[in-house]
Structure 1
């Protein structure tokens, strides 16, 4: 007998004063089990975390092995597939930007309570002077929509989104429809899409704000759009 079982047997012999102990198989097994359960035999055993990590790495290795067998070209084919997936994920992240919580369509244009057109324009100019183009774009877009509301060209609706405001404004100002929709897309990209605005983007919105400030509305087009 060798190992832990032998040690248990020698303990039984010593306990009997050196004389062999005539013990049945089952009682001997139980005695050996009790002896081996003592802490002295388990001091070097891995802890629960180590055992869990060992099982995890074993499972991960089994998954990789199975995938490499199933993939065309074996392990090399699996590596190529993983690289393709990583490249696609990177391309999507670059194209769509960092995901932001919540839905774009559910976010209101005016999220911080009512302010006047003058207030939004002053805030936009302050941000632009400091080179904060994201905030400057946001405030200039809000100024454009608030100005249309103050002129009664748009109904005052606190929950309106930038896209909705641009679509409605395009009905009363058809010559500016495309520019208004582009401004709304820029606002959404900056506010919810993780994009960074540039000075040129802000200047486009500034030019649009100045252009439509005195633009004559086409109310018949608005009525036809509302009726449709």
Structure 2
């Protein structure tokens, strides 16, 4: 019995040492790039069989990505800035046809609040930009350059690392949704992204994230 007790005690004295690098799933999550995460999704933003731009009846029977996301964020984000934004957006986005009708006003509203650089409200605002682009499809082309410039500026200058990540995630979704418009000629997009790709001095990870956001367009 004494021998058995001693063996158990020696076994219990062993210190558990976790394997270096964490689990396989955590390592995969940590190192997975923006472009890889976006590219895995099966999204075809330009060719939408249920949303023909010239079919107003079809549009009226579809759900708005912007409206759906906005309703969720109103419950999740209670910051003063986003609450003020919500009061202004609410009457403009009750349906997809209404969103199309008020597209200019919605774009101006999004830009105005993004330019405030309030970290507490930037996650929903940047998310709504990409959903707005998803709703509009090819119609978003008129706002594309303006959007990329403002989001790039936030990514390059904001001190909060989470805001930087949200910004590049927003850009990656924009590129995904508008890929069929962008891929035939990437030079205009490159000109917009050039300040983040080395034309101007940037933090190394900012340039890397910018390259990753664009990378799947080249494959």
- The TM-score bracket by the shorter chain reads under 0.3
Q: TM-score, normalised by structure 2?
A: 0.23
Q: TM-score, normalised by structure 1?
A: 0.23
The structure with higher relative contact order (CA 8 Å, sep 6+) is 2
